[in-house]
Amino acid sequence: MGTIQLSGIGRTFKSTAAVRDIYLTIEDGEFVVLLGPSGCGKTTLLRMIAGLLEPTTGRILLDGVDITELPSKKRDLAMVFQSYALYPHLSVRKNLAFPLKVQHLGKDEIERRVQDVADSLEIGHLLDRKPKELSGGQRQRVAVGRALVRNPKAFLMDEPLSNLDAKLRTQTRHELTALHRRLGATFVYVTHDQVEAMTMATKIVVLNAGAIEQFGSPEEVYDCPESVFVAGFLGSPAMNLLEAQVIGREGIVSLSGTGLAGDLWPGDTDDLDVVVGIRPEHLEIAALSDEHDGILLDGTVEIVENLGGEQILTFSTGRSRIHMRTSRDVRVSVGEQLTLRAAAEHVHLFDRASGRRLEWVAETAADAVGAARESAEPTAEPAAAASLTSRSEPLLTA
């Protein structure tokens, strides 16, 4: 078992708060990725879990037991560092055996466990070499092996792939995913690389300035970003983010902005300043589309990038640039003026002041009635009246 609970964890260095007030439960067997830009507090948080750094506030629990005061060695957690942190003067065999010697295990037991781990990571032939006689990828495996040999409750990894070249990185990514499946152990993995996060994680924690922006599965974080920050951080090219206004006229909720307009859905709303988010893969050229509803954007083609299997088009529109990901069959030339379209269901809205996601939900009172009716007769239509709200507080009532 390896359930890690963080309850109000924070760390301040002199006057700067590196990590603030984090509440998070990492369930046993999850592969949780701490994702965020450089300096957002990932390493600081991981080091506190590992017991290498004392939190300024909060408690850490491992399987329900408070380990906040427990020294690192006694935590039953294994850490893999970016720098590998191998002992240069010891052979691979002795590097792997080291954590077990510290635990005073018997010689035969140590020999057996080292051999098992060496076999499972395919480093058996390297056991008598010194770290300096290994490639980067091999060193990285030894570092993982040294964590593995202890059979810990959880593995903590801080950017373990960042010193590897692109090809080896992809390969090692697959190996770590397979290792996680095989062991079923808890992994807490720090990276600033969104591809690593999307491909390896069962849950992603997006961190910004020491605080959690969003915690969810890769799909949730990508498909339903909770904030402008998350929307702009994930995706390559990132989500297009444009300032606009939500307006309600004659029972239709619409969007209006520089070079951007269209109807979203039936309903009423007060006017509201928003940031509109549209993923590059959700844009199409309006003239080529059979659909005519949704949001339309005017743009001039600035750049056409051929990626082989697809292309990225960059448009200038209003004061912004927008990206569109499309098939190479779509032929456009630089300088061409086009109208782009996105379906209403693919439009993300964020409150411009708070940066938080807005959801279109049935209006509270009507909804309560509607919900009550719905539970009585499951076929009942949801109430028509609705309003835009952020998850935490209602912003509008119609």
Ligand X SMILES: Nc1ncnc2c1ncn2[C@@H]1O[C@H](COP(=O)(O)OP(=O)(O)O)[C@@H](O)[C@H]1O
Nearest to 115 by CA among 141, 89, 87, 149: 149
DSSP letter (8 states) at residue 67? -
Which of Mg ion, ligand X, none binds 375 (CB below 5-8 Å, type-dependent)?
none
Verify binding: residue 306, ligand X, rule CB under 6 A.
Answer: no
Instruction: Figure out which of the listed residues 26, 31, 43, 225 binds ligand X, where binding follows CB under 6 A.
Output: 43
Candidate residues 42, 75, 180, 325; the one interacting with ligand X per rule CB under 6 A: 42
> Looking at 39-47, 196-204, 309-317, 341-349, which segment touches ligand X (CB under 6 A)?
39-47
Stretch that binds Mg ion, among 41-49, 133-141, 203-211, 385-393 (CB under 5 A): 41-49
Smallest gap from Cβ 44 to Mg ion, in A, equals: 8
In the complex, minimum distance from the CB of residue 35 to Mg ion, in angstroms, rounded to a whole number: 11
Under rule CB under 6 A, residue 15 binds ligand X: no
Residue choice 2, 41, 55, 145 for contact with ligand X (CB under 6 A): 41
> Which of these ranges, 31-39, 292-300, 306-314, 343-351, lies near ligand X under the rule CB under 6 A?
31-39
Would you say how long the chain is, in residues?
A: 398
Q: How far apart are CA 380 and CA 71, in angstroms?
A: 58
Distance of alpha carbon 9 from alpha carbon 68, whole angstroms: 10
Query: Which range of residues in 27-35, 36-44, 83-91, 124-132 is near Mg ion by CB under 5 A?
Result: 36-44
Q: How does DSSP assign 318-362, residue by residue?
A: TTEEEEEEE-TTS---TT-EEEEEE-GGG-EEEETTT-BBEEEEE
Residue ranges of alpha helices (H) inside 30-183 are 42-50, 92-102, 107-120, 136-148, 166-183
Beta partners for residue 31, in sequence order:
187
39 binds ligand X per the rule CB under 6 A: yes
Report, in Å, the least distance between residue 18 CB and Mg ion: 10
Edge-to-edge strands, sheet with 65-66? 16-26, 4-13, 57-62, 65-66
Q: Count other Cβ atoms within 10 Å, centred on residue 287.
A: 9
Q: Which is nearer to Mg ion, 34 or 92 (CB)?
A: 34
At its nearest, how many Å lie between ligand X and the CB of residue 44?
Answer: 3
44 binds Mg ion (CB under 5 A): no
Please say which residue, 38 or 333, places its beta carbon nearer to ligand X. 38
Least separation in angstroms between CB 39 and ligand X: 4
Question: Does residue 191 belong to the site contacting Mg ion (CB under 5 A)?
Answer: no
Alpha carbons 315 and 310: distance in angstroms, whole number: 16
For 107-111, which contacts have Cβ atoms below 8 Å and span 24 or more sequence positions? none
> According to the binding rule CB under 6 A, does residue 23 interact with ligand X?
no
The verdict on 6 binding ligand X (CB under 6 A) reads no
- Candidate segments 32-40, 123-131, 172-180, 240-248, binder of ligand X by CB under 6 A: 32-40
327 touching ligand X, by CB under 6 A? no
Count other C-beta atoms under 10 Å from residue 125's C-beta: 10
Q: How distant, in Å, are the alpha carbons of 69, 237, 367 from that of 193?
A: 32, 14, 41
Query: b/e per residue, 171-186, with b = 16+ CB within 10 A?
Result: ebbebbeebbeeeebb
Q: Which residues bind ligand X (CB under 6 A)?
A: 13, 16, 18, 36, 38-44
